[in-house]
């Protein structure tokens, strides 16, 4: 019997959809059913897991039990999902930003459920936030220090100044005409 593996982007998309579906249907405080990442047995994932807080956000979303290794969930209904050990990300056109030393890619395509994925950090972690219950930035800000302490960054997001050689970009500047011979 042969098995086929989806390309990394398709696997990430299907895993995100599964986790997003869980956000929508989980309404009672039972165990949250999640899918583990393929590298969920990484030592760094275990080290982060044992340090995660019991509550998240100023609204004090309580941590819930999950059925998958290297996952966590907070809130009833589930408002924040944490998954560690996902496939590595390549270059992306998603917005990238730094929170407490961790670079995050932001996918807003399933709003109000936002997917934050670590960029250039091993192992890859994602946080799925239903912004109906908590601001995405609040959840990421609260969990970033735990991830920064136990995972390794291999690169950084590029800023516009990195791309344009440290100069400034002015949207109102007129282009300089090139003389024609």
Q: pLDDT 10s per residue in the chain (181 long)?
A: 333 333 444 434 444 444 444 444 444 569 999 999 999 999 999 999 999 999 999 989 999 999 999 999 999 999 999 999 999 888 889 999 999 999 999 999 999 999 999 999 999 999 999 999 999 999 999 999 999 999 989 999 876 566 666 555 444 444 444 455 5
φ, ψ of residue 123 to 5 degrees: the values are: -75, 160
Quote the DSSP letter at residue 85.
E
Q: Residue 121 burial by CB count (10 A; 0-12/13-18/19+): exposed, middle or buried?
A: buried
Which residues are 97's β-sheet partners? 104
- Rounded to an integer, what distance in angstroms lies between the CA atom of residue 100 and that of residue 160? 20
φ, ψ of residue 15 to 5 degrees: the values are: -65, -40
Q: What is the pTM of this model?
A: 0.75
């Amino acid at each position: 019997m042969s098995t086929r593996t989806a390309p990394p982007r398709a696997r990430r998309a299907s895993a995100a959809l599964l986790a997003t579906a869980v956000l929508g249907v989980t309404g009672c405080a039972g165990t949250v059913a999640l899918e583990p990442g393929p590298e969920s047995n990484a030592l760094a994932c275990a080290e982060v897991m044992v340090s995660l807080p019991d509550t998240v956000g100023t609204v004090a979303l309580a941590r819930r039990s999950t059925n998958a290794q290297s996952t966590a969930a907070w809130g009833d209904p589930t408002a924040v999902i944490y998954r560690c050990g996902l496939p590595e990300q390549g270059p992306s056109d998603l917005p990238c930003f730094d929170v407490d030393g961790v670079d995050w890619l932001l996918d807003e395509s399933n709003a109000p459920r936002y997917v934050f994925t670590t960029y250039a950090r091993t192992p890859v972690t994602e946080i799925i936030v239903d912004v109906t219950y908590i601001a995405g930035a609040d959840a990421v800000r609260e969990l970033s220090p735990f991830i920064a302490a136990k995972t390794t960054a291999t690169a950084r997001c590029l800023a516009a100044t990195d791309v344009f050689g440290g100069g400034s970009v002015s949207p109102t500047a007129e282009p300089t005409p090139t003389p024609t011979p």
